[in-house]
């Protein structure tokens, strides 16, 4: 899968942008405020139906305009898929795939898996568990067709159970949802564990290249409840506290990935900022490799400001890994020289971004 053309209208300062990228490396340079991140926002918006910059998608619409639109052609093996999304300021996303209206954004999301890496990605290590669950679930979603159903069932059971707890419903009412939640949690737990078990060797291999075995990094899966007792027993044991709190303390909504050094210290307590960035890149690159291995799908990597906090040697390691993955890659930088110093790979397109225009550069 790769984007072969992109047409963006009225998204932030991108009034009308048409780009035909390479299916390998695409390097974009331009000054602050020229539109580099907005270009990534457009790709992300098209595939996920939302911005990564704000919870208020409407803010991505260009000032003094009523709507934004993004169209793309995506090559999937021998097939060409056309994808379009439109968002009016007062309305919802309107998604079309091959000229057909679609009601669920997931239809688009599953076509082209997107990996966005920017200076904020480092927070994967320090953020709440939701971010790391999102990381695991990205991988499971793209390889396990029934994941989304189990995830939705867990969300529904959790919502109902929390509502029962809040309204001080009977113990029996709450316990009905224990059973539902337990079923969905069991499936999610298996998916997530299997995914991480497959990811770990790829990840460790990448880390030994990136860090030359300087750090003994470990990755420990945490289900979100006492796995020895099982979720039902855990929920029963903690029921009175759940009633006091008005929400469910344990379950698949608490799943986490503990990233540690020497099995004890949280990685972020030891690693420098650049090293944290490198670790997070390794996590996402490993996902790209596994995705291809498990499903044959290629993802598109969007690397915003790769050079920030990474020295030349580490940038090269990242670029070399991306080259090995054979993914479609977009990388931004302020100046052309930074991009040129990253190496010379075949089928690379260079673009100059200037005041909302994206022009092929030589």
Ligand X SMILES: Nc1ncnc2c1ncn2[C@@H]1O[C@H](COP(=O)(O)OP(=O)(O)OP(=O)(O)O)[C@@H](O)[C@H]1O
Burial 274-304 (b: 16+ CB within 10 A, else e): ebbbbbbbbbbbbbbbbbbeeeebbbbbbbb
Among 16, 18, 20, 33, binds ligand X (CB under 6 A): 33
| 338 is a site residue for ligand X (CB under 6 A) | no
Q: Under a CB-based contact definition with an 8 Å cutoff, are residues 191 and 144 in contact?
A: yes
Tell me: does residue 38 bind ligand X (CB under 6 A): yes
Rounded to the nearest whole angstrom, what is the least distance from the CB of residue 300 to ligand X in the complex?
Answer: 18
Q: Interface with ligand X by CB under 6 A: which range of 36-44, 83-91, 102-110, 278-286?
A: 36-44
Is residue 51 within a helix (H) or strand (E), and if so which, with residue range? none
8, 22, 35, 109: which one binds ligand X (CB under 6 A): 35
Q: What values do phi and psi take at 309, rounded to 5? A: 70, -5
Asked if 136 contacts 290 with a C-beta cutoff of 8 angstroms, the reply is no
Q: Does 32 bind ligand X (CB under 6 A)?
A: yes
Query: Considering CB distances under 5 to 8 angstroms, the limit depending on partner class, which of Mg ion, ligand X, none binds residue 35?
Result: ligand X
How many other CB atoms sit within 10 Å of the CB of residue 59? 12
Regarding 34 and contact with ligand X (CB under 6 A), the answer is yes
37 binds Mg ion (CB under 5 A): yes
Could you tell me the smallest distance in angstroms from the CB atom of residue 34 to ligand X? 4
Q: How many of the other CB atoms lie within 10 Å of CB of 259?
A: 20
Instruction: Look up residue 95 and give its two tokens.
Output: 């998604």
| Shortest distance (Å) from residue 349 CB to ligand X | 18
Q: How far is the CB of 269 from ligand X (least distance, A)?
A: 29
| Cβ burial 98-110 (10 Å sphere, 16+ → b, else e) | eeeebeebeebbe
Which residues in this chain contact ligand X in the complex, by CB under 6 A? 12-13, 30, 32-38, 59, 62-63, 334
Which residues in this chain contact Mg ion in the complex, by CB under 5 A? 36-37
């Amino acid at each position: 899968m790769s984007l072969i053309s992109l047409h963006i209208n009225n998204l932030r300062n991108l009034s009308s942008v048409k780009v035909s990228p390479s299916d390998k490396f695409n390097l974009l340079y331009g000054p602050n405020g020229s539109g580099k991140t907005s270009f990534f926002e457009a790709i992300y918006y098209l595939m996920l139906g939302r911005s990564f910059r704000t919870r208020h998608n409407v803010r991505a619409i260009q000032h003094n305009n009523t709507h934004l639109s993004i169209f793309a052609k995506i090559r999937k093996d021998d097939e060409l898929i056309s994808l379009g999304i439109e968002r009016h300021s007062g309305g919802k996303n309107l998604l079309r795939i091959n000229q057909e209206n679609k009601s669920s954004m997931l239809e688009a999301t599953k076509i082209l898996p997107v990996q966005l890496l920017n200076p904020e990605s480092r927070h994967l290590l320090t953020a709440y568990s939701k971010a790391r669950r999102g990381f695991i679930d990205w991988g499971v979603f793209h390889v396990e067709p029934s994941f989304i159903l189990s995830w939705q069932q867990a969300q529904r059971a959790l919502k109902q159970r929390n509502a029962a707890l809040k309204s001080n419903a009977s113990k029996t009412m709450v316990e009905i949802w224990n059973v539902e939640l337990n079923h969905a949690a069991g499936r999610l737990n298996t998916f997530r564990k299997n995914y991480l078990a497959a990811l770990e060797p790829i990840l460790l291999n990448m880390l030994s290249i990136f860090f030359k075995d300087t750090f003994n990094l470990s990755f420990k899966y945490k289900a979100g409840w006492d796995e020895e007792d099982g979720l039902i027993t855990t929920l029963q044991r903690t029921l009175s506290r759940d009633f006091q709190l008005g929400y469910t303390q344990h379950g698949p909504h608490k799943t986490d990935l503990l990233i540690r050094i020497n099995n004890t210290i949280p990685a972020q307590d030891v690693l420098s900022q650049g090293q944290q960035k490198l670790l997070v890149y390794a996590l996402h690159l490993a996902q790209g490799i596994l995705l291809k291995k498990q499903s044959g799908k290629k993802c598109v990597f969007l690397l915003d400001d790769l050079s920030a906090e990474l020295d030349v040697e580490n940038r090269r390691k990242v670029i070399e890994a991306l080259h090995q993955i054979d993914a479609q890659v977009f990388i931004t930088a302020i100046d052309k020289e930074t991009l040129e110093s990253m190496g010379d790979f075949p089928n690379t397109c260079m673009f100059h971004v200037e005041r909302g225009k994206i022009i092929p550069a030589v």
